[in-house]
């Protein structure tokens, strides 16, 4: 992996302890007064006076709530309760979530991100995709089984959707785009889901050609980021093109432009104001890390 700096939502200190997940007796023995439960308001984190995550005990949880075993930390079992409802919109439409992202420490952000992805999946997968029967948690919450009231017995696992997000360079300039849902003047790296039967390199090439009409080569992997809105793995890449004429897919992008190194550097040094040619992605986004990596690379 190239040095892309600190990646938000990565680096959780929790030991996921798979050997405990699969042992109901061992897991049950850990559900005692020492166990800690992540404080949540639905899918949002409760935050203490110190700006960190709040941890309660099993006594704070509704007896009917499903519990997910996050893992072990400081010799204590850590859990999170599944909310009644899963996510109903994208991250940019959740101002309270964005506020938490900006305030939590890297360690707390990684813990929260993993927990959020997992409990959101549980909240949205209460029924079997095969037969429609009710599912129940298994393996400490890292699996759901369709075994309730005569179900088909299918097993379901938390999903992570791979997404390529890529820089495109031509002769010292970067291609950045803005989607219609982006805030005014906000530009970022192009991105798109990896489709079945594709390599990462093929997905990068296809997405850039679909969205901007450019053919890329020399695709290079830089870094990945877990993104819990709802549960994606952002695969950061760098690519080059010999073409400059942009053919925009107006269904995906509102605008795409070439930016010089000076313009990118100014935007990265002035996040949060309306000066310069564009507003750079916030530090929590892997696009920010990719831009920083490129500036370091071309210094």
Q: What is the DSSP string of the chain?
A: -----PPTT-----B--HHHHT-HHHHHHH-STT-EEE-EETTEEPB-TTSSB-EE-GGGS-TTS-EEEEEEETTEEEEEEPPSS---S-GGG-HHHHHHHHHS-HHHHHHHHHHHHHHHHHHH--B-TTT--B-EEEGGGTEEE--TTS----EE----EEEEEEEEEETTEEEEEE-TTSPTTB-B-EEEEPPTT--HHHHHHHHHHHHH---EEEEEEEEEEEETTTTEEEEEEEEEES-------TTT-SEEEEEEHHHHHHHHHTTTSS-SS-BPPPTTSHHHHHHHHHHHHT-
Say yes or no to pLDDT of 161 above 70.
yes
Regarding whether 285 and 170 lie in a shared domain, the answer is yes
Regarding whether 292 and 165 lie in a shared domain, the answer is yes
Report pLDDT for 101: 86
Average pLDDT of every residue of the chain: 93
Regarding whether 196 and 288 lie in a shared domain, the answer is yes
Structure confidence at residue 147 as a pLDDT band (50, 70, 90): confident
Regarding whether 118 and 246 lie in a shared domain, the answer is no
Regarding whether 188 and 66 lie in a shared domain, the answer is no
Contacts of 93 (CB under 8 A, 6+ apart): none
| Cα–Cα distance, 237 to 294 (Å, whole number) | 11
Report pLDDT for 91: 65
CATH number at residue 189: 3.90.79.10
Regarding whether 166 and 230 lie in a shared domain, the answer is yes
Number of independent structural domains in the chain? 3
Decide which of 76, 105, 124 is a domain's last residue. Answer: 124
**Percentage of the residues of the chain whose pLDDT score is greater than 90:** 85
Which domain, by its residues, includes 129?
125-158
Whole-model pTM: value is 0.93
**246-282: pLDDT as tens digits:** 999 999 999 999 999 999 999 999 998 888 999 999 9
Regarding whether 45 and 5 lie in a shared domain, the answer is yes
Integer CA distances (angstroms), 249 to 123, 210, 238, 246, 254, in order = 34, 7, 21, 9, 8
Regarding whether 153 and 107 lie in a shared domain, the answer is no
**31-87: pLDDT as tens digits:** 999 999 999 999 999 999 999 999 999 999 998 999 999 999 999 999 999 999 988
Regarding whether 89 and 136 lie in a shared domain, the answer is no
Regarding whether 259 and 176 lie in a shared domain, the answer is yes
Report pLDDT for 6: 79
Say yes or no to pLDDT of 1 above 60.
no
Regarding whether 108 and 222 lie in a shared domain, the answer is no
């Amino acid at each position: 992996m190239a040095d892309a700096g600190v990646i938000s939502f990565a680096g959780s200190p929790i030991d996921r302890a798979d050997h405990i997940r699969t042992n109901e007796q061992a897991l049950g023995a850990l559900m005692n007064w020492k166990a800690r439960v992540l404080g949540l308001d639905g899918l949002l984190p409760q935050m203490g006076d110190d700006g960190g995550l709040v941890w309660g005990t099993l006594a704070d949880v509704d007896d009917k709530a499903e519990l997910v075993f996050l893992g072990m930390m400081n010799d204590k079992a850590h859990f999170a309760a599944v909310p009644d409802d899963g996510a109903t919109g994208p991250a940019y439409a959740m101002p309270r979530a964005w506020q938490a992202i900006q305030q939590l420490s890297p360690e707390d952000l990684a813990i929260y991100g993993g927990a959020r992805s997992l409990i959101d999946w549980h909240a949205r997968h209460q029924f079997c995709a095969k037969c429609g029967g009710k599912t129940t948690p298994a393996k400490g919450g890292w699996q759901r089984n369709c075994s309730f009231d005569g179900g088909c017995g299918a097993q379901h696992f938390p999903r992570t959707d791979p997404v390529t997000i890529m820089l495109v360079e031509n002769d010292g300039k970067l291609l950045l785009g803005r989607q219609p849902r982006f805030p005014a003047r906000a530009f970022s790296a192009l991105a798109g889901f990896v489709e079945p039967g594709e390599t990462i390199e093929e997905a990068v090439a296809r997405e850039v050609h679909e969205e901007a009409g450019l053919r890329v080569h020399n695709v290079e992997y830089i870094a990945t980021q877990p993104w819990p809105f709802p549960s994606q793995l952002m695969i950061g890449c760098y690519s080059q093109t010999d073409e400059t004429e942009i053919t925009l897919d107006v269904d995906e992008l509102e605008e795409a432009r070439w930016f010089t190194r000076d313009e990118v550097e100014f935007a990265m040094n002035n996040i949060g104001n309306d000066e310069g040619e564009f507003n750079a992605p916030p530090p929590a986004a892997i696009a920010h890390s990719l831009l920083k990596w490129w500036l370091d690379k071309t210094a």
